[in-house]
Amino acid sequence: MDRRTIIAVVLCLLFLVFYQPLLRMAGLGKYVEPPRRPTPVAVDTTRADSLARAQSAAETTRATGGPAADAPAVIAPLPIAAAAGALEKTSSIETPLYRATFTNRGARLLSVELKHYISAHGVSSVNGKPRRVKPGQAVPPGDRVVLAGGPLFGVDLGSGAGLRPLEGLVYAVAESADATGQVAALTFTARDSSRLAVRQTWRVRPGTYALDLEVQIEGVPVAWRLNDYSLTVRSWPPFTETDRQTDERQVRATTLVGTNLHRDPAGNLLKGPRAYDGNAVWASVQSRYFIGAVAVDQAVGRGTVSHGEQRPLPNEMLKALGPNEKPVTNVAVSSLVVSLPGAEHPVQRFLLYFGPSDFPQLSRLGHELGRSVDLGWNWIRPISELLLHLLVWVHTVVRNYGLAILALATLVKVLLYPLNAASLRSMRAMQKLQPEIERVRAKHKNDSQAINAATMALYKENKVNPAGGCLPILLQMPILMGLYQVLLTAIELRQAPFAGWIDDLSAPDTLFHVSGFPIHLMPVLMAGSGFLQQKLTPMNPQQAPMQYMMNAFMLVLFYNLPSGLVMYWTVMNLLSAWQQWRVLRQDEPAAVVVPAADGSKKRKK
């Protein structure tokens, strides 16, 4: 296998790795999603404006004698209304990790305030740069990450087009305290005139961002013809990160049905809902670094339904918008659909999580919630998980994630040294044979069989494996792809400083702007390290322009990626250049053995 073939294989592999992220960044994510059957538009379970649209569609149907041309099929809401004179009030559960706020109207979860995560657009931030807080300390109010989905979570009867919102019910609220006097549980109870009775009990799981939820539903009239209900989570405005555009592109609904994981970006959901039938395990909404999820603990999951919508931004967020940005945000809404409980077992249990997309924390909760963290394809995930644990362990030693990336890159390079050295020696040997191969092609230019036979004889006599330069590269690609995915998604790198101008390894290293265009230094350094590596790589001079084009392509590809990922690639280039110099310096020149026509062997320098 010659050098040109190796380059083509590597370019194909890079295309396979990066084409999905590039399509999603360009807004073409729909082309990488499998086709799904269309489903009726779901009525939003948590917002009054969606309920109003449903009622309007129902009135249009009655007035015209049939469904309106553009109106989705909906069912009129149940005759549930707020009790006369009932006042809305809020209750909260507070732990050392978060503060969760609820309303008694509809028993909705309004928001979750995370005490140890800093918002890049808090009251103390400057131009998207958050204030610094010492590790382990709580973030002051006003600078914390707040997940507020307007509201964030709700329980309603029915599902999909047959959804019957319960937001009109006003619940009675009872608090239960622990030994320290802190609220450890909230119970919401409501009973309608139709004898429908609903009770929700929320309990704290100490030391985690998880809450246990018990739902008891009784007295659903048979005439309503309902056999399921929905637990719905809603995403929050993506105003928690310095790199808001990347964060907004990552807003999605993620669901696990059976063993199949489904990721649906909010932008795609705006074009139509996605429904997945089967043994639903959990449903969630995610941004780049945070997640809200509901998982089945003791119930029968029937499927999931997700849809998207656009929502105006609150006034306090408008000041962070650029001159050409729209004052709206895409919202992902995901519902876990479960069967109504039977009379013998009216209580069903669920686990809810609103917090960081932290792989170790989510994995410890069970329900395969760890799969919500995007660590690559299934066959790469074991490698990615191992590298993530290794990165965290190295950080406990060096106490700086930038140094941890440098150490991890060096360790990976040391482990792969034998493969890289073998690849370089094979390339060097192929380079030495190239003049003789050209002579063979010139001699037998009209006889392809003779060219192949003479070339293989040349390889055999010189003990050169034509695949020797490609195979080591292919063997190490899973490790490189896994490490790439870890550095791109690990919340451990969020707002983690390194040194100098690199104060956030999860965002591009912006030095300044020129006419609104950001100037990033690390991608330029990476391109320079790639050029140095190419100068030391054995290659055919005719292939040099292709190598330089590939280096330019990598500069464009990495220009807006997180600085931690670009720094890793730069270090790998520099280590590769050093290794190539060392291996080629130790490589003694050897004579080329050329088979003669009489079967004897002739050596050439």
pLDDT digits (tens, 9 = 90+) for 484-522: 889 888 999 998 999 888 988 988 898 888 887 889 999
Round to whole Å and give the CA distance between 373 and 370. 6
405 touches 487 (CB < 8 A):
yes
Q: Return contacts of 358-366, CB within 8 angstroms, 24+ apart.
A: 358/491, 359/385, 359/388, 359/490, 360/392, 361/208, 361/209, 362/291, 364/208, 365/208, 365/210, 365/295
Whether the pLDDT of residue 69 is over 50: the answer is: no
Round to whole Å and give the CA distance between 71 and 40. 10
Round to whole Å and give the CA distance between 373 and 263. 11
**Dihedrals φ, ψ of 589, to 5°?**
-65, 135
Amino acid at 400: N
Please provide the average confidence, as pLDDT, over all residues in the chain: 81
Amino acid at 48: A
**What is the band of 61 on the pLDDT scale with cuts at 50, 70, 90?**
very low
524 touches 567 (CB < 8 A):
no
Amino acid at 283: A
Nearest residue to 380 via CA among 466, 304, 486, 455? 486
Other CB atoms within 10 Å distance of the CB of residue 38: 10
Q: Identify which has the larger pLDDT, 205 or 327.
A: 205
Of 76-90, 144-158, 217-231, 569-583, the poorest mean pLDDT is in 76-90
Residue 482 burial class via C-beta count within 10 angstroms: exposed 0-12, middle 13-18, buried 19 and up = buried
**Dihedrals φ, ψ of 363, to 5°?**
-65, -35
**What is the band of 373 on the pLDDT scale with cuts at 50, 70, 90?**
very high
Q: How is residue 499 annotated by DSSP?
A: S
Instruction: Report the topology of domain 33-374.
Output: Beta-galactosidase; Chain A, domain 5 (2.70.98)
Q: Return contacts of 126-129, CB within 8 angstroms, 24+ apart.
A: 128/242, 128/244, 128/320, 129/242, 129/503
Beta strand pairing status for 210-218 and 347-356? antiparallel
**What is the band of 5 on the pLDDT scale with cuts at 50, 70, 90?**
low
Using CA atoms, how far residue 136 sits from 117, 132, 467, 551, 583, in Å, is 10, 12, 52, 41, 46
Q: Identify which has the larger pLDDT, 287 or 412.
A: 287
**What is the band of 202 on the pLDDT scale with cuts at 50, 70, 90?**
very high
Amino acid at 486: V
Q: Which percentage of the chain shows pLDDT scores above 90?
A: 40
- In order, the DSSP letters of 383-395 are HHHHHHHHHHHHH
565-583: average pLDDT: 87
Region of 364 (left: φ > 0; alpha: ψ -120 to 50; beta: rest) is alpha
pTM, to two decimals: 0.79
**What is the band of 66 on the pLDDT scale with cuts at 50, 70, 90?**
very low
Other CB atoms within 10 Å distance of the CB of residue 281: 21
Q: Identify which has the larger pLDDT, 35 or 341.
A: 341
111 touches 101 (CB < 8 A):
yes
Cβ density class 137-150: b for 16+ within 10 Å, e for less = eebeeebbbbbbbb
Nearest residue to 527 via CA among 489, 559, 486? 559
Round to whole Å and give the CA distance between 83 and 80. 9
Start-to-end Cα distance in the chain: 22
What is the domain partition of the chain in residue ranges? 3-23+402-586, 33-374
Whether the pLDDT of residue 23 is over 60: the answer is: no
Alpha helices in 26-110 (DSSP H): 48-64
Of 269-273, 302-306, 340-344, 387-391, the poorest mean pLDDT is in 340-344
Nearest residue to 216 via CA among 366, 342, 351, 371? 342
Of 22-31, 87-96, 262-271, the poorest mean pLDDT is in 22-31
The continuous run of DSSP H or E covering 215 comes out as strand 210-218
Round to whole Å and give the CA distance between 482 and 487. 9
Most confident by average pLDDT, 99-103, 419-423, 431-435: 99-103
